[in-house]
Amino acid sequence: MWRVTNLPAHRPERVVMKFGGSSVADPEKIKNVARQIAAAHERGLEVVGTVSAMGKTTDSLIALAHDVSPDPNGRELDMLLSTGERIACALVAMAIHDLGHVAVSLTGSQAGILTDSSHTKAKITEIRATRIEAALAEGKIVLVAGFQGFSRETMDVTTLGRGGTDATAVALAAALGAACEIYSDVPGVFTADPRIVPDARKLLAISYEEMLEMSASGAKVLMLRSVELARNHGVRIHARSTFSDEPGTWIQENTGMEQPIVSAVTHNESEVVFTLSGIPDRPGAAATVFDAAAAAAVNVDTIIQNVVHGVAELSFSVPAEDVPATRGAIDVATAALGTMEIEENHDLGKVSLIGAGMRSHPGVAAKMFRTLADLDINLEMISTSPIKISCMIERGDIPRAVRALHAAFELEREPVAE
Amino acid sequence: MWRVTNLPAHRPERVVMKFGGSSVADPEKIKNVARQIAAAHERGLEVVGTVSAMGKTTDSLIALAHDVSPDPNGRELDMLLSTGERIACALVAMAIHDLGHVAVSLTGSQAGILTDSSHTKAKITEIRATRIEAALAEGKIVLVAGFQGFSRETMDVTTLGRGGTDATAVALAAALGAACEIYSDVPGVFTADPRIVPDARKLLAISYEEMLEMSASGAKVLMLRSVELARNHGVRIHARSTFSDEPGTWIQENTGMEQPIVSAVTHNESEVVFTLSGIPDRPGAAATVFDAAAAAAVNVDTIIQNVVHGVAELSFSVPAEDVPATRGAIDVATAALGTMEIEENHDLGKVSLIGAGMRSHPGVAAKMFRTLADLDINLEMISTSPIKISCMIERGDIPRAVRALHAAFELEREPVAE
């Protein structure tokens, strides 16, 4: 059994509370966030809050940069973008003051968030939390501007790229020995997207591994990056709703005795599949393609290669937003490998089953394929990991595939280890 | 003669170029500012730029703060407001990169602008320009976010209050041994407001003293504060137009042999006169009133006191925006001194003559009063300094008073020392 009793029985003494851009989109929402942070402080916790920029601020700043410059300098773009979170943080701190608590907002650099020097996609290297610790010791609530840090090497402001504020929250929790609460407009992690599967069930807890696979295969609750960071530092994440006091989903080490075979069905409708044919089948051909893709920062997901009559056919899927970069990477590869036939398929989607228990249950894949076959759904590509099976199918078939798989694996019921 | 040949014949090696909010209000204007800065760099100068927040950004941020909090915390307000200049600076730096120059934007703290800890109205205490000097030595253009610094005592971001970016520019010029070019939408300092006096003449140069009196008596080209700072540190300011290459007006030590009797007519239509009657004529009564006004940060201008039959009548003028604070200060004074009769007059304006030469020409005041009397204009209050005479008159009479004085002192002609 995956037992609820294995969840922590006492509240942590310290908590990092993270609120996304939609939670601080206007003054009323900012005051609401302030109330939640103040309430945690009133319950006796030491509280560090971190927030994203208000609503679509970051998008607006990026648009402004592109109005000024066709190719904005990375260092300056970071200087620009980092202001969004500072604004939100200062406003939340003001609102907390009005509730009778003392709050202090800190920029990434004031908070001691050290990163490498990769502008617009910096990685956190260390957190020197002396200033945060001092403020907490004085009984203050600390607000840290998310999504940013600074490079000790260049002394410049950096930003952390996609999922940056979640990463800030998890890294702070790791440095401070705190639990990490990530608030958003969804109440937790579900067995499937409730908009597609009406009886989808909110999970009480899920392991880091499963959450990683879910994030990688389309679940939008948490960014892959922050889950990875949490796993590496043993930070427990509580993913919950900004608009409700109900418990959400804990992402943590698996503490149950046994693991559910299948925890959830996820799907992704925003991938594009590239197929390259006529590639010379010589050592390093695939490497040339994916070196170029990596250099262009393309997030390649599924990869399949077939060799027929000495000529390889290579298919891979990428997120829709990486399509221009992928085209550029293919041009680079073509220059090295010679002309290839290139196809783009924008009509596919991916449905995935995630479950830590499936590695010891080889029948899961077969049951999945049979369920989809019964719906007359063709499998275009298949990829697997020890705890995940993904199928690329026609995008229009995604909703009924998700519903059928959710029902076939009885995910609406509390899982029972078999 | 005030000779043009006394102006500097060679360009300075270093220049601080300051652009106000209207000069960076949109992407096109930002690119224009970038072109001007790049052009200076191409002329072989070492260039430090400093800009205000775009257009009405600061006002919007203040409004946002007041939407969130009725009385925003000063430290957090500074954290919030300082972002406006950072945004503008980063955008200008991006645009300069596109012109083939290397630019680096620095926050106030990165630029080493140290201040006291008075949030929202901090004073610059020191500039540690090591990072700026290093960047200049590498051939880079440096952009410094205006209006801000940081307190070494609290390690917090501070803002400099009204005229803060002008103060940033002058302080940087002092620290770097640079000339200071202040760009705005007016082409320089005029003998009177050209909207009122069509033949008002742009001054080639004016002394710090005269500029101080002009700023204090209504000329809006430069804030009093930055002129004071420039005088104290011997920084030469060139006030000029963002939209033209024409020389503007140099504000500097008087280098001419003799000084013009009258340099300019200024006016101010936004002052309010308070009159307190029935004040006990005892030592310290006026001090009580102005102590309270100072504590409320009211900028008192002209003060007049009369004592009749042992009861004092006290009049003073304040800027319109200080009226609420003034009322509060009067309440405080009333508590200490007893009930007074209080009058507010919102229908007055002030016209002033400024001229370094008038201190040795006692006839100037008489000629001014005669000119106004010939127009049937009544003088409500008079105040003088060695280089200025101001008269409070009916606000509606201001335009014809300014025109008559400009003509009477022949300011449309190049001045000739008498």
Q: Quick one: pLDDT at residue B255?
A: 63
Give the burial string for A115-146 (b: 16+ CB within 10 Å, else e): bbbebbbbbbeebebebbeebbeeebbbbbbb
More confident site: B4 or A217: A217
Domain count, chain B: 1
Q: Quick one: pLDDT at residue A307?
A: 67
State yes or no: pLDDT of A286 exceeds 90: no
Band of the pLDDT at B31, cuts 50, 70, 90?
Answer: very high
The mean per-residue pLDDT over the stretch B153-181 comes to 94
Do residues A19 and A115 make contact, with C-beta atoms less than 8 angstroms apart?
A: no
Q: Quick one: pLDDT at residue A72?
A: 94
* B418 occurs within a structural domain: no
* A194 occurs within a structural domain: no
The mean per-residue pLDDT over the stretch A334-344 comes to 87
| Domain edge (last residue) among A184, A208, A235 | A184
A302 and A415 fall within a common domain: yes
d(CA A348, CA A301): 13
More confident site: B180 or A279: B180
Q: Quick one: pLDDT at residue B137?
A: 94
* B259 occurs within a structural domain: no
The mean per-residue pLDDT over the stretch B357-386 comes to 82
The model's pLDDT over B291-303, given as tens digits with 9 standing for 90+, comes to: 888 888 887 777 7
Q: Do A157 and B107 touch (CB under 8 A)?
A: yes
Q: Quick one: pLDDT at residue B315?
A: 85
State yes or no: pLDDT of A145 exceeds 90: yes
The model's pLDDT over B65-84, given as tens digits with 9 standing for 90+, comes to: 999 999 999 999 999 999 99
Interface of chain B toward chain A, CB-CB under 8 angstroms: 27, 30-31, 61, 64-65, 67-73, 75-77, 79-80, 82-83, 86-87, 89-91, 93-95, 97-98, 103-105, 107, 110, 131, 155, 157
State yes or no: pLDDT of B259 exceeds 80: no
* A314 occurs within a structural domain: yes
Band of the pLDDT at A417, cuts 50, 70, 90?
Answer: very low
Give the residue from A214, A235, A233, A232 showing the smallest Cα distance to A223.
A214
Q: What is the CATH number of the domain that holds B143?
A: 3.40.1160.10
Q: Out of A335-349, B163-177, B355-369, which region has the weakest mean confidence (pLDDT)? A: B355-369
A162 and A264 fall within a common domain: no
* B300 occurs within a structural domain: no
A73 and A152 fall within a common domain: yes
* B31 occurs within a structural domain: yes
Band of the pLDDT at A139, cuts 50, 70, 90?
Answer: very high
> Which chain B residues touch A38 with a CB distance below 8 Å?
none
d(CA B88, CA B20): 10
More confident site: B121 or A381: B121
Q: Do A70 and B110 touch (CB under 8 A)?
A: no
Q: Which residues pair with B306 in a beta bridge?
A: B313
Q: Quick one: pLDDT at residue B290?
A: 84
Q: Do B86 and A80 touch (CB under 8 A)?
A: yes
Q: Out of A44-58, A196-210, B379-393, which region has the weakest mean confidence (pLDDT)? A: B379-393
Calculated CA dihedral for residues A39, A42, A46, A47, nearest 10 degrees:
20
Q: Quick one: pLDDT at residue A182?
A: 96
State yes or no: pLDDT of A317 exceeds 50: yes
More confident site: A99 or B212: A99
State yes or no: pLDDT of A77 exceeds 60: yes
d(CA A197, CA B157): 50
* B331 occurs within a structural domain: no
The mean per-residue pLDDT over the stretch B160-169 comes to 92
ipTM of model = 0.70
Q: Do B68 and A31 touch (CB under 8 A)?
A: yes
> Which chain B residues touch A30 with a CB distance below 8 Å?
68
Convert B394-414 into a string of H (helix), E (strand) and C (coil). EHHHHHHHHHHHHHHCCCCCC
> Which chain A residues touch B65 with a CB distance below 8 Å?
90-91, 94
Residue B304: count of CB within 10 angstroms of its CB = 16
Distance from CA of A114 to the nearest CA of B (A): 16
Q: Which residues pair with B150 in a beta bridge?
A: B114, B157
d(CA B249, CA B204): 5
State yes or no: pLDDT of A258 exceeds 80: no
State yes or no: pLDDT of A360 exceeds 60: yes
Tokens of A3: 């037992």
Phi and psi (nearest 5°) for B339? Answer: -65, 135
Distance from CA of B386 to the nearest CA of A (A): 47
| Domain edge (last residue) among A166, A184, A202 | A184
| Domain edge (last residue) among A161, A184, A207 | A184
**Mean pLDDT computed over every residue of chain A:** 88
Band of the pLDDT at B257, cuts 50, 70, 90?
Answer: low
A167 and A310 fall within a common domain: no
A302 and A414 fall within a common domain: yes
Q: Quick one: pLDDT at residue A215?
A: 84
Q: Percent of chain B at pLDDT above 70?
A: 93
Interface of chain A toward chain B, CB-CB under 8 angstroms: 27, 30-31, 61, 64-65, 67-73, 75-77, 79-80, 82-83, 86-87, 89-91, 93-95, 97-98, 103-105, 107, 110, 131, 155, 157
The mean per-residue pLDDT over the stretch B396-417 comes to 88
A412 and A264 fall within a common domain: yes
The mean per-residue pLDDT over the stretch B24-40 comes to 96
The model's pLDDT over A362-373, given as tens digits with 9 standing for 90+, comes to: 678 888 888 998
State yes or no: pLDDT of B46 exceeds 90: yes
Q: Percent of chain A at pLDDT above 70?
A: 93
The model's pLDDT over B84-98, given as tens digits with 9 standing for 90+, comes to: 999 999 999 999 999
Q: Quick one: pLDDT at residue B1?
A: 29
Q: Quick one: pLDDT at residue A136?
A: 96
The model's pLDDT over B97-112, given as tens digits with 9 standing for 90+, comes to: 999 999 999 999 999 9
d(CA B222, CA B97): 30
Q: Quick one: pLDDT at residue B33?
A: 96
The model's pLDDT over A1-30, given as tens digits with 9 standing for 90+, comes to: 233 334 444 444 899 999 999 999 999 999
A128 and A39 fall within a common domain: yes
Q: Quick one: pLDDT at residue B246?
A: 92
Query: Taking the model in full, what pTM does it have?
Result: 0.76
Q: Percent of chain A at pLDDT above 90?
A: 60
* B353 occurs within a structural domain: no
Range of the domain at A403: 255-418
Q: Which residues contact A283 (CB under 8 A, 6 or more apart)?
A: none
State yes or no: pLDDT of A75 exceeds 90: yes
Residues belonging to chain A: 418
Of A68, A91, A131, nearest to B30 by CB-CB distance is A68
Of A27, A71, A155, nearest to B67 by CB-CB distance is A27
Distance from CA of A104 to the nearest CA of B (A): 7
Band of the pLDDT at B4, cuts 50, 70, 90?
Answer: very low
A157 and A277 fall within a common domain: no
State yes or no: pLDDT of B11 exceeds 50: no
Question: Most confidently modeled of A252-256, A287-291, B194-198, B284-288?
Answer: B194-198
Convert chain A into a string of H (helix), E (strand) and C (coil). CCCHHHCCCCCCCEEEEEECHHHHCCHHHHHHHHHHHHHHHHCCCEEEEEECCCCCHHHHHHHHHHHHCCCCCHHHHHHHHHHHHHHHHHHHHHHHHHCCCCEEEECCCCCCEEECCCCCCCCEEEECCHHHHHHHHCCCEEEEECCEEEECCCCCEEECCCCHHHHHHHHHHHHHCCEEEEEECCCCCECCCCCCCCCCCECCEEEHHHHHHHHHCCCCCCCHHHHHHHHHHCCCEEEEECCCCCCCEEEECCCCCCCCCCCEEEEECCEEEEEEEEEECCCCHHHHHHHHHHHCCCCCCCEEEEEECCEEEEEEEEEHHHHHHHHHHHHHHHHHHCCCEEEEECCEEEEEEECHHHHHCCHHHHHHHHHHHHCCCCCCEEEEECCEEEEEEEHHHHHHHHHHHHHHCCCCCCCCCC
Q: Quick one: pLDDT at residue B12?
A: 46
Band of the pLDDT at A217, cuts 50, 70, 90?
Answer: confident
Q: Out of A34-43, A231-240, B1-10, B318-327, which region has the weakest mean confidence (pLDDT)? A: B1-10
More confident site: B136 or A9: B136
Amino acid at B272: V
The mean per-residue pLDDT over the stretch A228-255 comes to 90
Q: Quick one: pLDDT at residue B8?
A: 46
Convert chain B into a string of H (helix), E (strand) and C (coil). CCCHHHCCCCCCCEEEEEECHHHHCCHHHHHHHHHHHHHHHHCCCEEEEEECCCCCHHHHHHHHHHHHCCCCCHHHHHHHHHHHHHHHHHHHHHHHHHCCCCEEEECCCCCCEEECCCCCCCCEEEECCHHHHHHHHCCCEEEEECCEEEECCCCCEEECCCCHHHHHHHHHHHHHCCEEEEEECCCCCECCCCCCCCCCCECCEEEHHHHHHHHHCCCCCCCHHHHHHHHHHCCCEEEEECCCCCCCEEEECCCCCCCCCCCEEEEECCEEEEEEEEEECCCCHHHHHHHHHHHCCCCCCCEEEEEECCEEEEEEEEEHHHHHHHHHHHHHHHHHHCCCEEEEECCEEEEEEECHHHHHCCHHHHHHHHHHHHCCCCCCEEEEECCEEEEEEEHHHHHHHHHHHHHHCCCCCCCCCC
Q: Do A65 and B104 touch (CB under 8 A)?
A: no
d(CA B5, CA B342): 54
Q: Do B70 and A131 touch (CB under 8 A)?
A: no
Q: Give, to the nearest 10 degrees, the angle between helix B74-98 and helix B57-68.
A: 150
Do residues B329 and B319 make contact, with C-beta atoms less than 8 angstroms apart?
A: no
Of B69, B87, B91, nearest to A97 by CB-CB distance is B69
Q: Quick one: pLDDT at residue B300?
A: 79
State yes or no: pLDDT of A195 exceeds 80: yes
